[in-house]
Amino acid sequence: MIHSIKIIICFAFLWVSLSIQTTREDHCRQQITTSSAPHHSPSDPLSRESGGQMSFWTPNMPEVDISSVTTRVNQLSNEELKQLLNDNNYHKLDEMIKDLPQIRSLERERDLLIETNKSSAEQNLSREPTYRQTRQQLIDGHNELKTLKEEIDKKKSRLSE
């Protein structure tokens, strides 16, 4: 009985770790396929050119260390294993998963990405007035050119008569 509980818990940890890795790989594939640029620059973190071939690089994904999970499960007493098995809401299992070094690393990386994204958004917002002004100048210039073209077309038609 205790052995089967340990196996179930190990599979739960493995499943969570693999689902995180699969989600991460799907995200990378989506970024690659939705890229509008046909060629990435060498400094682009999503790609690296090698010998004329384009190969894609995925962010560092912490390896799933199943040994740390099995060690941790093996250290649990029979009572703790029974509590994990009887925990209908999986709170204790969630806590154990969140304490894994791989999960903590992913959470730190997520927090860093959120901060980077926030910084980029703030920069974009600070550039908005300049963007709007330049856009309006472009629209005004386009309208002026349209008016001049219409005048030239009218003068051409008068000359050809």
**Tens digits of residue pLDDT in 8-57:** 666 666 666 556 555 555 555 555 555 444 444 444 444 434 444 433 33
137 — pLDDT class (breaks 50, 70, 90)? very high
Full DSSP string of 12-55 = HHHHHHHHHHHHHHHHHHHHHHT---SS--TT-TTEEEETTEEE
67 versus 115: which is more confidently predicted? 115
DSSP letter for each residue of 16-27: HHHHHHHHHHHH
Q: Report pLDDT digits (tens) over 72-111.
A: 778 888 888 888 778 776 787 788 778 888 888 889 999 9
